[in-house]
Amino acid sequence: MSKFSVISPIDGTEALSVDYSTDEQIQQALDAARQAQSVWKGLSLVERKSLVSKAVDWLVSHKDEIAKSITTCIGRPISQSPGEVRGLEERARYMIDVAEQALADIVPTPKEGFKRYLRREPLGTVMIIAPWNYPFLTAVNAIVPALVAGNTVLLKHASQTPLAAQLFQQAFDAAGLPKGVFQTLYMTHSATERVLRADYVDFVAFTGSVEGGKRIQSTISERFIGAGLELGGKDPAYVRADADVDFAAENLVDGSFFNSGQSCCGVERIYVHASIFDAFVAKFVEVTKQYKLGNPTDPSVNLGPMVSAAAAANVKAQIEEAVAKGAKKLIDESLFPAHAEGTAYHAPQVLINVDHSMSVMTEESFGPVVGIMAVADDEEAIRMMNDSCYGLTASIWTKDQEAAEAIGSRIATGTVFMNRCDYLDPALAWTGVKDTGRGISLSELGYHQLTRVKSYHLRDA
């Protein structure tokens, strides 16, 4: 039986070793999911909501164990890891609460002699392929609505975060879901592709890289099943001339460097009106220097290692390329003693004199680096923000809500923020454009891609 190891970025040692699911175990899981689906669908919505709620209760009650697993596997500071459980609960509770409305029958204008309505039904079995960077938050976006809607779920988590998969399994087992309704599988890429090609999975929800999304789409191309693909991001912020400079800088530092910048909706490029550029940059650098990089098990640390030494090396390469093309580094790495080449520990870096010839302004960094560029006006800011192959979120920092809405209407993005960033409101659809992918999670609309519509056209005898 083959295994995979989880190397903790804290110290580069093996945190745990996990057996891959065998072909027999995978087939048993697929058969169990198919058999369980009719039973699960047959329960009332109230019953399904109750059982899923119990699983959420279990997860919340095990928040310390969850936080420790996050810190161990990806290096997020233990001072911040518990926040993922709070976010998980907020999203899960919201999606459970809106299920009745989201899944309610749609009744057209009455027509004499007929009863007509549209009803949402579960798709069948949903495979969720979850990423490592927010191992509970990202997975819950699909797990909860898929189950509440009446689907069975197969969870294939990232190889860096098998502990998250194990904890999810324990939660749903403790909640008492029927056997086969929720199962976890530990699979290689090739095994995952074989499952997706077979006639056992009715929808796949994938969060990951653009290349991974293309591979998923190619794999299912000969089948008539849907896919939700949440892929890359290079999210911009625009600080207008009327913005509160200190407020914008403090929030954008957090939006850029939380989770060591390893967030799909983290801020990776900032455009600032030229009239306040110097003041904004000075404040941004001041706040950045207050961060403490170090061992994430230390409660005083608020910036941990990246997920791997290789990830840190990619960020370093982007910075070096930008500097070679004329960019200027504003952070002296010696201010962060834990910063060390060849390890996962990378100091936050702020770059100016940047432009779009540099990969740091156009390609996903997924690390603690941000470029800040001066712009002359709204028109230039809009042009720069749209000069990207991605479109997940964009934030506008201003006192003028009307201007923010007008600018937002012209940005190719899934979410427009004003005076905030890097947050998912479960009442709003989480979606993107261009290479950020397709599909919707969260909000009432998040139930739509996890169900199909059946029309009932009943004529009186």
Give dist(CA 337, CA 334) in Å, integer: 6
* HSE-CB of 353 using CA atoms within 13 angstroms: 11
pLDDT of residue 341: 93
pLDDT more than 90, % of the chain: 99
pLDDT of residue 76: 98
pLDDT more than 70, % of the chain: 100
For the chain, counts of helices (H) and of strands (E): 14, 17
pLDDT of residue 191: 96
> In this structure, how many other beta carbons lie within 10 angstroms of the beta carbon of residue 81?
24
Over 70: is that where the pLDDT of 241 sits? yes
pLDDT of residue 244: 98
pLDDT of residue 182: 98
Domains defined for the chain, CATH in brackets: 3-232+434-459 (3.40.605.10), 235-389+393-425 (3.40.309.10)
Give dist(CA 202, CA 213) in Å, integer: 17
pLDDT of residue 354: 98
Per-residue confidence at 186, pLDDT binned at 50, 70, 90? very high
**Residue 447, SS3 per DSSP:** helix
Give dist(CA 357, CA 361) in Å, integer: 8
Distance of CA 208 to CAs 130, 214, 369, Å? 7, 10, 20
Q: What is the mean pLDDT of residues 297-323?
A: 98
The two beta strands, 226-230 and 437-438, are antiparallel
Per-residue confidence at 451, pLDDT binned at 50, 70, 90? very high
CB contact burial 117-136 (16+ within 10 A = b; e otherwise):
eeebebbbbbbbbbbbbbbb
Mean pLDDT of all residues belonging to the chain? 97
Amino acid at 317: A
Over 70: is that where the pLDDT of 147 sits? yes
Give dist(CA 131, CA 87) in Å, integer: 16
Over 90: is that where the pLDDT of 37 sits? yes
Give dist(CA 123, CA 149) in Å, integer: 9
User: To 5 degrees, how large is the angle CA 455–CA 458–CA 461?
Assistant: 170
Beta bridge partners of 70: none
Amino acid at 409: S
Residue 346 Rama label (left phi>0; alpha psi -120 to 50; beta): beta
Over 80: is that where the pLDDT of 1 sits? no
pLDDT one-digit tens code per residue, 243-281: 999 999 999 999 999 999 999 999 999 999 999 999 999
Closest CA to 135 of 226, 72, 93: 72
Give dist(CA 23, CA 194) in Å, integer: 10
Give me Rg for the CA atoms of the chain: 23
Answer whether 0.85 is exceeded by the pTM.
yes
pLDDT one-digit tens code per residue, 196-233: 998 999 999 999 999 999 999 999 999 999 999 999 99
Over 70: is that where the pLDDT of 141 sits? yes
Residue 172 Rama label (left phi>0; alpha psi -120 to 50; beta): alpha
pLDDT one-digit tens code per residue, 2-13: 999 999 999 999
pLDDT one-digit tens code per residue, 372-407: 999 999 999 999 999 999 999 999 999 999 999 999
The two beta strands, 125-130 and 451-459, are unpaired
pLDDT of residue 371: 98
Per-residue confidence at 461, pLDDT binned at 50, 70, 90? confident
Give dist(CA 47, CA 40) in Å, integer: 9
Q: What is the mean pLDDT of residues 286-290?
A: 98
Active site residues: 230
Closest CA to 21 of 169, 172, 203: 169
pLDDT one-digit tens code per residue, 319-341: 999 999 999 999 999 999 999 99
Closest CA to 283 of 307, 259, 253: 253
Closest CA to 252 of 280, 231, 232, 278: 280
Name the token pair of 360. Answer: 């740091």
